Chains A and B, each alone.
Chain A
């Protein structure tokens, strides 16, 4: 699908004279529904379930990351729009035609948007595909060459990968584990002599952080066993500078419990 033919946009450079300053905040949201995209284009609003909203959700602009549901537009950011108003509404009021939906009573954020604007060229995601909310700036959107560059701090997954390599942890990135029926895609798997360790990174901004000893840290998520013989670690990505030591310590301890890495 060539969006230039189907989307009504205003080709406006947001940083031109009289427009918004480049330090405007911007939230990249996930667009995984053709119906929702239709609403954005024709009615000028976007919805986000309140219970799934990231901890930092307020922004001057929204940009849209298209998932694999969008054929030719998949894995890219192509459009953004200014946020003009935000309402908190029940789903049944947002989508009256679906008043009997099981989640009709859920609260949603409704973002009323200004004119949808097209980037000069699509911003593709060449490495990361499983993108979640990205809180960033308009300046970064206009300067980025890849979706991965939208993070003002590298996402936890990227930072862990770098640190795993640096510390000699032999992890496989974005690997599958388990049998067909229960196949699980993990951010990392670390095979050990007795089973192994899987690591998943949560959504950016999902976990509180605190200032401790002068450095920002984030808590380590609960440890659960996913498959027999394996330890599953899930870390939340606080979305701002944080120390990796608690994460790495948890990984090393799990590796130790499984007899060391292969």
Chain B
């Protein structure tokens, strides 16, 4: 079992996830890759082997009005290959998570077209990094657009039309309000994609009443042999929230259970970990606000509360 985190690093100062400069300052994928190299060194130091890269690694690469950014992946072929070797040496499983703008089920063809451009670039980055089939791009099914069944059909049709090198990287994730695990399984079955099981989303939105073990078993079957399933785990935020902006009424608001907490509650996590299919290994991405610090904390918690599971951590 590997534990990982997404994008931002909190445990080491000034370690950016990508070149975030705005376009007039000519940001470049090569600068992002150097940041990524530093992150890999940090992951190696901390014995973390699962990492989600920033979707903005190649800045402005899909921007239709900024063609000067479009050749970055080819320009950085050598650097990507070297960095991929470093990731392999450090046994880091890499992935992307699609931004909310990716909408394969959208009724507007332009939205799907824009999605294709981003997905293609992420797939190319994973290819150039030498990532194996475990290097996935996780995406949600998106909105229902007033007709959930039709949206699911469009999603499946759009997937079928994708180039094979893109489609083979995709994995779909259940969400917390529209598409349940059962929905994700249905779409994944038709589109021949694996399902990334999100535990907090499952707890928030499971209208079919699937039992946890039942849902996990079904999800497991969507992953090809030899590719370890990937899960997302987070705990719901429980703290009161301060006013959202300056000048707002000085009232605290109650948290929504869909919000991510800073750390992962170890007892919730262990409930999930013990429900995983017997003998199955999983890679678990923590979607906690404290990022890498949450991974380090959960590892320590596992050693304390479940040493038998901690012994399985890689």
Q: Are A86 and B34 in contact (CB under 8 A)?
A: yes
Shortest Cβ distance from residue B196 to the other chain A in the assembled complex, whole angstroms: 27
Q: Are B296 and A87 in contact (CB under 8 A)?
A: no
Given the interface contacts A18-B24, A211-B293, A240-B13, does A58 sit within 8 Å of B31 by beta carbon? yes
Total A-B pairs in contact (CB under 8 Å)? 67
Given the interface contacts A55-B41, A57-B38, A58-B34, does A88 sit within 8 Å of B21 by beta carbon? no
Shortest Cβ distance from residue B246 to the other chain A in the assembled complex, whole angstroms: 20
Q: Are B41 and A60 in contact (CB under 8 A)?
A: no
A210 CB contacts on chain B under 8 angstroms: 45-46
* Binding-face segment, A77-85, A119-127, A141-149, A252-260: A77-85
Which chain B residues numbered 58 to 113 have a C-beta less than 8 Å away from chain A? 78-79, 82
B151 interface residue (CB < 8 Å to A) = no
Q: Are A211 and B296 in contact (CB under 8 A)?
A: yes
B115 interface residue (CB < 8 Å to A) = no
B228 CB contacts on chain A under 8 angstroms: none
A137 interface residue (CB < 8 Å to B) = yes
CA distance A109 to B79 in the complex (A): 10
A209 interface residue (CB < 8 Å to B) = yes
Given the interface contacts A18-B24, A20-B25, A211-B46, does A86 sit within 8 Å of B33 by beta carbon? yes
Shortest Cβ distance from residue B222 to the other chain A in the assembled complex, whole angstroms: 35
Q: Are A87 and B78 in contact (CB under 8 A)?
A: yes
B41 CB contacts on chain A under 8 angstroms: 55-56, 208
- Total chain B interface residues with beta-carbon distance under 8 A: 29
B31 CB contacts on chain A under 8 angstroms: 58, 60, 83-86
Listed residue (B11, B33, B38) with the most chain A CB atoms within 10 angstroms of its CB: B38
A114 interface residue (CB < 8 Å to B) = yes
Interface size class of A (residues with CB under 8 A): 20 to 34
B37 interface residue (CB < 8 Å to A) = yes
CA distance A121 to B87 in the complex (A): 42
CA distance A20 to B31 in the complex (A): 15
Name which residue of chain B comes closest to A110, CB basis: B30
Name which residue of chain B comes closest to A241, CB basis: B13
Listed residue (B14, B38, B78, B82) with the most chain A CB atoms within 10 angstroms of its CB: B14
Q: Are B14 and A137 in contact (CB under 8 A)?
A: yes
Q: Are A109 and B34 in contact (CB under 8 A)?
A: yes
A152 interface residue (CB < 8 Å to B) = yes
Listed residue (A55, A57, A86) with the most chain B CB atoms within 10 angstroms of its CB: A86
A32 interface residue (CB < 8 Å to B) = no
B15 interface residue (CB < 8 Å to A) = yes
A135 interface residue (CB < 8 Å to B) = yes
A25 interface residue (CB < 8 Å to B) = yes
Given the interface contacts A85-B31, A86-B79, A87-B30, does A56 sit within 8 Å of B12 by beta carbon? yes
Q: Are A58 and B38 in contact (CB under 8 A)?
A: yes
Shortest Cβ distance from residue A191 to the other chain B in the assembled complex, whole angstroms: 36
CA distance A186 to B26 in the complex (A): 43
Interface string of B3-40 (1 = CB under 8 A from A): 00000000111111001010011101011011101100
B11 CB contacts on chain A under 8 angstroms: 211
Interface string of A81-99 (1 = CB under 8 A from B): 0111111100000000000
Q: Are B16 and A25 in contact (CB under 8 A)?
A: yes
Q: Are B37 and A58 in contact (CB under 8 A)?
A: yes
B79 CB contacts on chain A under 8 angstroms: 86-88
Given the interface contacts A25-B14, A88-B78, does A58 sit within 8 Å of B35 by beta carbon? yes
Name which residue of chain B comes closest to A82, CB basis: B25
Interface string of A63-89 (1 = CB under 8 A from B): 000000000000000000011111110
Shortest Cβ distance from residue A109 to the other chain B in the assembled complex, whole angstroms: 7
Which chain A residues numbered 187 to 239 have a C-beta less than 8 Å away from chain B? 208-211
CA distance A84 to B23 in the complex (A): 12
Please tell me which one of the listed residues A18, A24, A55, A57 contacts residue B34 in the complex, with CB atoms under 8 A apart.
A57
CA distance A202 to B28 in the complex (A): 32
Name which residue of chain A comes closest to B82, CB basis: A88
A83 CB contacts on chain B under 8 angstroms: 31
CA distance A42 to B196 in the complex (A): 52
CA distance A126 to B288 in the complex (A): 44
What is the interface of chain A, defined by CB distance below 8 A to chain B? 18, 20, 24-25, 55-58, 60, 82-88, 109, 114, 135-137, 152, 208-211, 240
What is the interface of chain B, defined by CB distance below 8 A to chain A? 11-16, 19, 21, 24-26, 28, 30-31, 33-35, 37-38, 41-42, 44-46, 78-79, 82, 293, 296
Q: List the 10 closest pairs (A to B, CB-CB), nearest first.
A: A208-B45, A58-B34, A58-B35, A86-B30, A86-B34, A85-B30, A211-B296, A58-B38, A25-B14, A85-B28
